[in-house]
């Protein structure tokens, strides 16, 4: 996680500290790249807190991390999980230009719960971000995830799937929300494994290249393995399209 440990948002499901953010470390991108090289990582996920205080939301910092990792570990694949860059013109373009292998941005929950769970975010802005990534660079795989058990209903989850597919999202993750502390939003319901299997089947039918839907699924759950599976699924989809023509 880059850009410090203090977030400018206060989402009711997240246990990251909210307050005055840390000063940016100008050497952080190089330090991240050194760590990736030293650990010999084949796939790395770079994420961050929200930094509404920065003019670009931290986009340039993300880009520098990608660039430094490429220099030191050219065979490593890079996945970014970015904030929504709300009201940060040009931020998405900055990250996309650095060409991560996967661009992840989570919608987190259904739109009816945004005001309660993500008061600083906007559902359709997140959809537009994901769609913009594909517009700028169709070769980048896009990914998004959501939690269930916060009070949503099945039909809302299915609508989110449709919205994400309309934004050309390739990879969907769905996991059970777990309350981090007594101060956070309560778990309204524990979704059964059978329901997760149902969501996974429906998501595949709707056209996602890759789906991970289990109680323990998280944004970076088996990210390295699933990235390879997604690449295979993409090649298979191209073959099917070619054969049908």
Q: What is the DSSP string of 56-71?
A: TTTHHHHHHHHHHHHH
- State the DSSP code for 48: B
Distance, C-alpha 69 to centroid of its chain: 19
Residue 22 structural domain: 6-244
73 is in an annotated binding site: no
- For the chain, first and last CA: distance in Å? 44
Q: Is 60 among the domain residues? A: yes
- Measured between alpha carbons, how far is 187 from 102 in angstroms, rounded to an integer? 30
Condensed to tens digits (0 to 9), the pLDDT of residues 74-124 reads 999 999 999 999 999 999 999 999 999 999 999 999 999 999 999 999 999
Give the pLDDT score at 243: 81
Predicted confidence at residue 91, as pLDDT, reads: 98
Span 188-239, pLDDT tens digits: 999 999 999 999 999 999 999 999 999 999 988 889 999 999 999 988 888 7
Q: Is 54 inside any structural domain?
A: yes
- Structure tokens belonging to residue 221: 């759950």
Q: Which residues fall within 8 angstroms of residue 75, CB to CB, at 6 or more apart?
A: 42
Q: What is the pLDDT of residue 51?
A: 97
**pLDDT over 90 at 242, yes or no:** no
Per the DSSP assignment, residues forming a β-bridge with 175 are: 147
- Sign of dihedral through CA atoms 121, 12, 10, 14? negative
CA distance 100 to 62: 10
The Cα–Cα gap between 25 and 23 comes to 6
pLDDT at 22 over 90: no
Q: Could you tell me the pLDDT band of residue 3, with boundaries at 50, 70 and 90?
A: very high
Range of lowest pLDDT (46-50, 53-57, 111-115, 228-232): 228-232
The per-residue pLDDT for 6 is: 97
Which of these, 51, 68, 60, lies nearest to 16 by C-alpha position? 51
pLDDT at 244 over 90: no
Q: Is residue 1 part of a domain?
A: no
Q: Is 7 annotated as a binding residue?
A: yes
Residues 64-71 have a mean pLDDT of 98
The mean pLDDT of 126-137, rounded to a whole number, is: 98
- φ/ψ of residue 168, rounded to 5: 65, 30
pTM exceeding the 0.85 threshold for the entire prediction: yes
Query: Residue 202 falls within a domain, yes or no?
Result: yes
pLDDT at site 43: 97
On average, the pLDDT of the chain sits at 96
Inform me whether the pLDDT recorded for 1 exceeds 90: yes
Q: For residue 26, give the CATH number of its domain.
A: 3.20.20.70
pLDDT one-digit tens code per residue, 156-186: 999 999 999 999 999 999 999 999 999 999 9
Residue 57 within a domain: yes
Burial of residue 139, with CB atoms counted within 10 A of its CB: 0-12 exposed, 13-18 middle, 19 or more buried: exposed
Q: Which two tokens stand for residue 80?
A: 């970014």
Report how far apart, in Å, the C-alpha atoms of 221 and of each of 30, 53, 172, 184, 225 are. Answer: 25, 29, 11, 22, 9
The predicted pLDDT at position 238 comes to 83
Number of domains the chain is built from: 1
Tell whether 199 is covered by a domain.
yes
**Three-state SS annotation for 184-212:** CCCCCCCCCHHHHHHHHHHHHHHCCCEEE
Which stretch of DSSP H or E encloses residue 143?
strand 141-148
């Amino acid at each position: 996680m880059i850009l410090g440990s203090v977030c400018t948002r206060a989402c009711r499901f997240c246990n990251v500290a909210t307050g005055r953010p840390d000063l940016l470390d100008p050497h952080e991108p190089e330090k991240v790249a050194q760590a990736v090289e030293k650990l010999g990582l084949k796939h790395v996920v770079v994420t961050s807190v929200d930094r509404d205080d920065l003019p670009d939301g931290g986009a340039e910092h993300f880009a520098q991390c990608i660039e430094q990792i490429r220099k030191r570990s050219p065979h490593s694949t890079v996945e970014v999980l970015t904030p929504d860059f709300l009201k940060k013109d040009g931020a998405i373009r900055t990250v996309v230009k650095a060409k991560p292998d996967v661009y992840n941005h989570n919608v987190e929950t259904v739109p009816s719960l945004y005001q309660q769970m993500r008061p600083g975010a906007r559902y359709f802005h997140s959809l537009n971000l994901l769609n913009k990534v594909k517009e700028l660079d169709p070769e980048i795989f896009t990914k998004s995830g959501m939690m269930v058990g916060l009070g949503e209903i099945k039909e809302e989850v299915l609508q989110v799937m449709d919205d994400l597919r309309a934004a050309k999202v390739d990879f969907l993750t769905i996991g059970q929300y777990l309350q981090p502390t007594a101060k956070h939003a309560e778990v309204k319901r524990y979704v059964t494994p059978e329901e997760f299997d149902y969501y996974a089947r429906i998501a595949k039918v709707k056209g996602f290249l890759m789906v991970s839907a289990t109680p323990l699924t998280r944004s970076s759950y088996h990210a390295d393995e699933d990235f390879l599976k997604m690449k295979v699924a993409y090649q298979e989809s191209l073959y099917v399209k070619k054969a049908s023509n």
